[in-house]
């Protein structure tokens, strides 16, 4: 079968691939692609449906970054983080040169149903009782991630939906907090992060070569996501309580703190943001428990 990043990068591989676990997976339909890889459905020999991401950019640094992404996925364990399943290497032959094979790395992961962008497109409103548990879940995911790394690429397309659960995904741009583990391929004054969701300090780093991206930068991006879900429009500009943040007063205060231009005024990481949201929604969860 053929896998491809774009029509200039088409590779022929076997219909069935074997991972390091020695398990085999049958490749299915294409699900999408990013800057360096393409994602396809796959079915395990036990009949389970997963997603497989193929790295189709082959520089040494790209391979190191992909291996870092896999290492991080294997460490993370949280119901709101996309789950690692397996990994491996296959040979692919380019359609322009059928003689020499290309080593293609892949990772197999949990398959989601859609992403947050699609959810917002198909729902006129997401009610408080639906989004608050998922906001909390996203903070739990950040708390787990921030033990090891900074995400740097939080956007609606990277928050996947499986059933009713939101899952943080795509760790290809993550920066390990331990410098000994990190291979950064980002160039000097290169933009780091999704264009519409980039934090102020990431923009300052790009334009002026100053300010460091930290866990507080993920907090800004996640706060943008929370405001986007509530307002159902892009939360640009200087927001305040009258900006359409139609939620509780307590949640308004938290979201506005996450969006502070000065990162020292934001929650410092996922753990601190989770604590704030738990305290602000304790009455809500009491109601949820009574309904069970």
Please state, in angstroms and rounded to a whole number, the distance separating the CA atoms of residues 35 and 21: 27
288 versus 191: the higher-pLDDT residue is 191
pLDDT at 242 over 90: no
- The H-or-E segment that residue 84 falls in is strand 84-94
Please give the average per-residue pLDDT across 14-32, as a whole number.
Answer: 97
pLDDT at 35 over 90: no
pTM, entire model? 0.91
Burial string for 95-113 (b: 16+ CB within 10 Å, else e) reads eeeeeeeeebbbbbbbbbe
pLDDT at 292 over 50: no
pLDDT at 229 over 80: yes
Average pLDDT over the chain, rounded to an integer: 91
- pLDDT reported for residue 99: 58
* Under 8 Å between Cβ of 158 and 145: no
- pLDDT reported for residue 287: 47
pLDDT at 17 over 90: yes
CB count within 10 Å of CB 7 equals 7
Model confidence pLDDT, tens digit, residues 255-265: 999 999 999 99
- pLDDT reported for residue 255: 97
- pLDDT reported for residue 247: 93
- The H-or-E segment that residue 149 falls in is strand 149-150
The winner for highest mean pLDDT among 58-67, 176-185, 215-224, 242-251 is: 215-224
Model confidence pLDDT, tens digit, residues 171-197: 999 999 998 877 766 655 556 788 899
- pLDDT reported for residue 108: 98
pLDDT at 288 over 60: no
CA atoms within 13 A on the CB side of 19: 21
- pLDDT reported for residue 9: 79
115: left (phi over 0), alpha (psi -120 to 50) or beta: beta
- pLDDT reported for residue 6: 80
């Amino acid at each position: 079968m053929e896998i491809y990043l774009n029509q200039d990068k088409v590779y022929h591989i076997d219909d069935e691939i074997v991972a390091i676990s020695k398990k085999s997976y049958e490749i299915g339909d294409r699900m999408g692609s990013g800057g360096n890889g393409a994602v396809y459905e796959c079915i395990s020999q036990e009949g389970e449906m997963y997603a497989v991401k193929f790295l189709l950019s082959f520089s040494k640094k790209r391979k190191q970054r992909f291996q870092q992404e896999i290492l991080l996925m294997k460490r993370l364990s949280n119901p709101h983080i996309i789950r690692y399943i397996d990994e491996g290497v296959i040979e692919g032959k380019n359609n322009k040169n059928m003689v020499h094979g290309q080593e293609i790395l892949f990772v197999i992961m949990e398959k989601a149903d859609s992403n947050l962008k699609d959810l917002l497109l198909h729902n006129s409103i997401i009610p408080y009782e639906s989004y608050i548990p998922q906001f909390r879940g996203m903070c739990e995911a950040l708390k787990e991630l921030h033990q090891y790394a900074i995400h740097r690429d939080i956007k609606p397309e990277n928050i996947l939906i499986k059933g009713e659960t939101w899952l943080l995904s795509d760790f290809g741009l993550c920066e390990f907090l331990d410098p000994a583990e990190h291979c950064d391929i980002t160039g000097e004054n290169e933009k780091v992060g999704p264009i519409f969701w980039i934090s102020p300090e990431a923009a300052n780093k790009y334009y002026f070569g100053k300010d460091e991206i930290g866990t507080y930068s993920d907090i800004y991006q996640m706060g943008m996501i929370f405001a986007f879900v509530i307002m159902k429009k892009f939360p640009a500009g200087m927001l305040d309580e009258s900006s359409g943040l139609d939620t509780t007063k307590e949640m308004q205060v938290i979201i506005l703190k996450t969006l502070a231009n000065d990162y020292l005024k934001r929650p410092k990481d996922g753990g601190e943001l989770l604590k704030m949201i738990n305290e602000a929604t304790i009455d809500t969860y009491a109601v949820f428990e009574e309904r069970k």
